[in-house]
Structure 1
Amino acid sequence: MMNRMDIDGYQAVIRYDPEIDLFRGEFVGLNGGADFYAADIARLKQEGARSLKVFLEMCAEDGVEPRKPYSGKFNVRVPPDLHADLAITAAAEGKSLNHWIADVLKQAVQG
């Protein structure tokens, strides 16, 4: 997926920062911040691995779980007419709205 980088099983979002003319990577889903910068992709991977190593070492020293826990629940606000259309579409596919939305979201992140 574009703008995403996997480093040792941890996900980072990559963006170009025109103000400093560098790519910036930021690990997501962590119990803290870890970012890294580089001018090219090869160096970005190296800097990401270095940043992640430092972050994980600090977590180990402090006894902190590196990954942020997720409950599997979140609220989404949509206009009432969209809510109705979603519910109808889910029912037409023989699924609950929750199951249908989960399937759509899964497809979105995988492909």
Structure 2
Amino acid sequence: MKYLEYRGFTGSIEYSPEDDLLFGKILGIQGLISYEGVTGKLLEEDFKTSIDEYLAICKEQGKAPEKSFKGSFNVRIPAELHQRAALKAMEEKSSLNNLVSEAIRSHLSKEKDVV
């Protein structure tokens, strides 16, 4: 699946055959910001307009906007795995955060767009 990117936000691209319509929503946030279009160009325009409107509303209300994928997340794993990972990180004189980041990076290295 490809994604739309604009002003730090990432959006999905989906297709509804019943409606013959492209649609999507902003990914990685709690709120719901959706958009649609009958062509790719119109979908992208509505995507950008939706984000601009969201940011304007946040500014009016004095609220900080949510951001897609802030760089932090909670992961639930078995206690034994947590312990083994934490001890391995200590042995490597590193942090658990760094160990997890490297594991994810390694797993994704098979793809084109590696972070």
Post-superposition Cα deviations, 1:39-95, rounded to whole Å, max 9, x if no partner, equal: 2221111111111111111111111111258572412336x7xx5xx95xx78xx67
Please list every run of 5 or more consecutive structure 2 residues that lacks an aligned counterpart in the other structure.
none
Q: 2:11 corresponds to which residue?
A: 12
Q: 1:76 corresponds to which residue?
A: 76
The alpha-carbon deviation at position 101 of structure 1 amounts to 2.9
Structure 2 CA distance for aligned equivalents of residues 6 and 71 of structure 1 = 16
Structure 1 CA distance for aligned equivalents of residues 59 and 45 of structure 2 = 21
Q: 2:42 corresponds to which residue?
A: 43
Greater Cα offset, 34-43 or 98-107: 98-107
SS state at 2:54 partner: helix
The alpha-carbon deviation at position 25 of structure 1 amounts to 1.8
Structure 1 CA distance for aligned equivalents of residues 9 and 52 of structure 2 = 11
Instruction: State percent identity of aligned pairs.
Output: 24
Q: State the one-letter code of the partner of 2:26.
A: F
Q: 2:32 corresponds to which residue?
A: 33
Please list every run of 5 or more consecutive structure 1 residues that lacks an aligned counterpart in the other structure.
none
Structure 1 CA distance for aligned equivalents of residues 32 and 62 of structure 2 = 16
TM-score between the two structures when normalised by the length of structure 1: 0.65
Q: 1:99 to 1:8 in 2, by over 3 A?
A: closer
Structure 2 CA distance for aligned equivalents of residues 29 and 13 of structure 1 = 10
TM-score between the two structures when normalised by the length of structure 2: 0.64
SS state at 2:23 partner: strand
Structure 2 CA distance for aligned equivalents of residues 63 and 31 of structure 1 = 18
Q: State the one-letter code of the partner of 1:46.
A: E
SS state at 1:61 partner: helix
Structure 2 CA distance for aligned equivalents of residues 97 and 62 of structure 1 = 38
Structure 1 CA distance for aligned equivalents of residues 31 and 37 of structure 2 = 21
